[in-house]
Chains A and B, each alone.
Chain A
Amino acid sequence: GQQLNQSPQSMFIQEGEDVSMNCTSSSIFNTWLWYKQDPGEGPVLLIALYKAGELTSNGRLTAQFGITRKDSFLNISASIPSDVGIYFCAGQLIAGGTSYGKLTFGQGTILTVHP
């Protein structure tokens, strides 16, 4: 099946630092999604990317859909304690003629922010 490699697996940073994480795939996708999971909760969508090369921001978060369609990046600027959680990338390939595609998730990046 499709594989998504997400890195790093974990990060320990100081409040105010910037954060970068990425996902790479062995297959192409036509949608990339980034989710955040707070402790004890379900994942919540942060950013959705639909076009190769697309760069999208949501507050302090910026994500990019790689030109090759096999990778995506998420950056968090000026981290704050509430950024703590697990960040997941997910890719989706919608086959021709259908509007449905299953998501493939990365393994997650665990982010810890020290005040």
Chain B
Amino acid sequence: NAGVTQTPKFQVLKTGQSMTLQCAQDMNHNSMYWYRQDPGMGLRLIYYSASEGTTDKGEVPNGYNVSRLNKREFSLRLESAAPSQTSVYFCASRAQGFEFFGPGTRLTVL
């Protein structure tokens, strides 16, 4: 039982490049989330998926897209990376009213 897994752990992009962050959970949770963490800002919700087949914008969705591929997988895509998207990205799934977080992806956009 791995919980929430994320790939890659680290990534460096040039401005304008695209990439997809992968997330999977093996806990059979319905809801999944993408957050970004910046110093002094806490965790801010980018997108979420309350159940398979649905996605909704969170607090900071601009510049991102998501896909809920199936119940297990929820990916986050940056179509044209910008330096402002340098951050640590966390995927999470929910049960019992709270989020279980993955280990994070540390993304740097040059």
Q: Are B43 and A43 in contact (CB under 8 A)?
A: yes
Pick from B42, B44, B50, B97: contact of A48, CB under 8 Å: B97
Q: A42-B92, A90-B43 are in contact. List 13 more A-B contacts (CB 8 A).
A: A1-B59, A44-B101, A45-B98, A48-B97, A90-B98, A100-B50, A102-B58, A103-B43, A103-B99, A105-B42, A105-B43, A107-B41, A107-B42
Report which A residues bind B (CB closer than 8 A): 1, 4, 6, 9, 31, 33, 35, 40-45, 48, 50, 88, 90, 92, 100, 102-103, 105-108
28 contacts between A and B (CB under 8 A): A1-B59, A4-B42, A9-B40, A31-B97, A33-B98, A35-B101, A41-B104, A42-B90, A42-B101, A43-B101, A44-B101, A45-B98, A45-B99, A45-B100, A48-B96, A48-B97, A50-B97, A88-B42, A90-B43, A90-B98, A92-B97, A102-B48, A102-B58, A103-B45, A105-B43, A106-B42, A107-B42, A108-B40
